[in-house]
Amino acid sequence: MRYAILSDIHGNLEALEAVLEDIAHQQIDVTICLGDIVGYYPDPESCIKLVKEHIVYSVAGNHDYAAIGLIDTKNFTYFAYEAMEWTKKQLSESSKEYLGSLPLSVQMDKMLFTHSSPVKPKNFIYIFPNSDIAIQDAFGSMVYRLNFIGHSHCPFFVFQDENKINLHRDNSITINRDYYYLVNVGSVGQPRNYDPRSCYTIYDTDQELVSLNFVAYDYRKTQKKVKNSNLPEFLADRLQTGR
Ligand SMILES: [Fe+2]
């Protein structure tokens, strides 16, 4: 089996189209979306439509729930808040219904998929590679050996062997069936790992290999749309630096 796992599209249609095109050439059996389909960029409706067409399994991100008022935006940054107010006005009733139907987690083939930390996913706790406490909490609560997340827009692998929790600094990792893994699959629509390319993850069960896949897309087109939509310009600028 080959799984493609993507996250944090954030209304960036050009990025999503490029990633779906890449996935179409990767002999993928199952594609899973880890949420934040909307928020930040100018095409929330089109992104929801594409996700509905191409992806059967999706979980909710905090921006998805914020867009329909299920969580409030008081902890959002200024740019996230501004973009969310804009996004709310773009969504059709059927898109709102779809976002509201998304679960907080999906369990499949002994793997767990959530937007944020698998610990109480409704709290949308961020995990970065240096989030020592959040990482310890996540490993302390794991039921399955493979756990896939998004939310921080920073792709990484962390695993727990017999002795300790380790950060694996590479673009792929071979799975040892005795260890536990936390994989951040990266972001399609707003990478923050100093690389403007979209990032998603493939898990190949035959090779027992989890790999990060980077896809270049025409972010200049997205930047122009941001400016024409009166969304904050910072959101356009950050696309070319990937941060
Ligand atoms: Fe996000």
- 196-233 pLDDT tens trace: 999 999 999 999 999 999 999 999 999 999 999 999 99
* Average pLDDT value for residue range 86-110: 98
CB 115 within 8 A of CB 34: yes
CA of 36 to the centre of ligand 1 (A): 5
Question: What average pLDDT does range 6-24 have in this prediction?
Answer: 98
Ligand 1 is an ion; its neighbours by CB within 5 Å are: 8, 36
Give residue 163's pLDDT: 84
pLDDT in tens, 128-147: 999 999 999 999 999 999 99
Tell me: the pLDDT tens digits for 150-166? 999 999 999 999 989 99
Q: How far is Cα 161 from Cα 179, in angstroms, rounded to an integer?
A: 5
Query: What was the pLDDT predicted at 58?
Result: 98
**Interval between CA 47 and ligand 1 midpoint (Å):** 14
| pTM listed for this prediction | 0.97
C-alpha span between 223 and 37 (Å, rounded): 18
> How many A from CA of 77 to the centre of ligand 1?
12
Ligand 1 centre and the CA of 63: distance in Å? 7
Query: Ligand 1 centre from 126 Cα, in Å?
Result: 10
Residues 6 or more apart whose Cβ sits within 8 Å of residue 46: 13
Q: 3-state DSSP helix/strand/coil percent for the chain, to nearest 5? A: 35, 20, 45
Which residue(s) pair with 213 in the sheet? 200
Gap from CA of 28 to ligand 1 centroid (Å): 24
CB 59 within 8 A of CB 66: no
Residue 225: CATH number of its domain? 3.60.21.10
Of the listed ranges 36-40, 53-57, 73-77, 236-240, the least confidently predicted one is: 73-77
CA–centroid distance, 4 to ligand 1, in Å, is 18
**How many domains in the chain?**
1
The set of residues, in sequence order, having a beta carbon less than 8 Å from that of 114 and lying 6+ positions away, is: 34, 59, 104, 105, 121, 147, 148, 149
CA distances from 101 to 52, 60, 104, 105, 114 (A): 12, 8, 10, 12, 15
Q: What is the mean pLDDT of the chain?
A: 97
Q: What is the pLDDT of residues 57-74, one digit of tens each?
A: 999 999 999 999 999 999
* Of 85 and 169, more confident: 85
pLDDT in the model for residue 221: 98
* Cα 25 to middle of ligand 1, angstroms: 26
CA-CA distance, 193 to 211, in Å (whole number)? 16
pLDDT band at 46 (very low <50, low <70, confident <90, very high): very high
* Phi, then psi, of 204 in degrees rounded to 5: -105, 115
Is the pLDDT confidence value at 77 over 90? yes
Residue 55 pLDDT: 98
Residue of 25, 21, 47 lying closest to 36 (CA atoms): 47
Parent domain of 25: 2-241
Cα of 122 to ligand 1 centre, how many Å? 14
